[in-house]
Amino acid sequence: MAIFIGSEIYRGSRYGALHPLSIERVPAVIDLCRAMGWLPARDWRVSPRAKPAALTDFHAPDYVAALQAAEAAGAVSDQTRDRHGLGTLSNPIFPEMYRRPATAVGGGLLAAEIVAAEGGAVFNPGGGTHHALADRASGFCFLNEPVLTIRHLLRLGMRRVAYVDIDAHHGDGVEIAFDGSEQVRVISVHEARRWPFTGALEDRAGGAAFNLPVPRDFNDAEFAHVLQEMILPAVAAFRPDAIFLQCGADAVLEDPLARLALSNNAHASAVRELRALAPRMIVSGGGGYNPWTVARCWSLVWATLSGREVPEHLPAGALGVLGRQVWARRGRPSEALLTTLRDAPREGQLRDEIRSGVAALRARLRAEV
């Protein structure tokens, strides 16, 4: 069983014309999956909007109130900007600045309830906002959907939850929230020396975190090594009741906000391999700032999660979805991004820096078992 959670709140919603999130993402994934025939009614759920009381399970009440007030007024005071990080270049004022992230959280909470009751897997592409702090917006994230979803899973009876983050940027907000936890294991693979400049190899977050910063041009062969030799063993040893995979699409080669070189096959392999390690799985979106690579990557993720075959040649409707995407700052993409769903593999050399980082984390894992 696999369920896709979506909403129309994302359609036409923009952080601003010059912001990296000026592009369509979730609507493009929904439209592409529908064009492929992959979203029958039985697999689709409309995301509710989380209520303020649910948000304060992690976020400070005064922050939630400030976020609501900012959306209503369309402006913030200097004091609110300084205190809560609202109305900045990264986290600007825009019409859906409260309702959109609250809907992403609502999707995560619904996903937790579905897998707790029925098992299976749920995809919530609007989620994955892993940088938000308890009382502050950060890194394009106004609310921390992964934290709220995982806390809900624990409340619903999960004893242990493994959080795996393959976004190009370290999920600092999630790690901070579960520092020292014995119920949540946080595993992150992210670009070294990239904002937010956290998640060092030696950073353990009180024993809860396994961090692997990777160098520029991180390729499919290196990801496969990391997945098989570090991620999967660290998850399996934890024996989780549920897995949360933050599947940010910004680690693919064409993304403008990272310098990694994965194909979207890496994301599909993470979904496929992790799915076998727990009876419940939630997959979210995350980063991703090229409209074609995001739409293709997350549609491939859904195909993998729901057991669909990916054709070599896309039907006309899918070609139309890809063809109408717009990225005013970058122009048109390569022909492959307009006509295919699955990237060609991007193999390469397995560098010593990757081997040594994985070996260090494996040694730590053996010592903790």
- Say whether 131 is catalytic: yes
Judged by DSSP in three states, 282 sits in: strand
Convert 191-237 into a string of H (helix), E (strand) and C (coil). ECCCCCCCCCCCCCCCCCEEEEEECCCCCHHHHHHHHHHHHHHHHHH
Judged by DSSP in three states, 44 sits in: strand
Distance CA 258, CA 270 (A): 19
Which tokens go with 73? 């007024």
- Spatial neighbors of 4 by CB under 8 A, at least 6 apart, are 30, 33, 39, 43, 44, 45, 122, 123, 125, 302, 306
- CA angle 358–170–116, rounded 5-degree value: 90
Q: What are phi and psi of 322, to 5 degrees?
A: -65, -40
- Provide Rg for the chain, Cα atoms: 19
Which one of 59, 131, 169, 190 is the catalytic residue? Answer: 131
Active site residues: 131
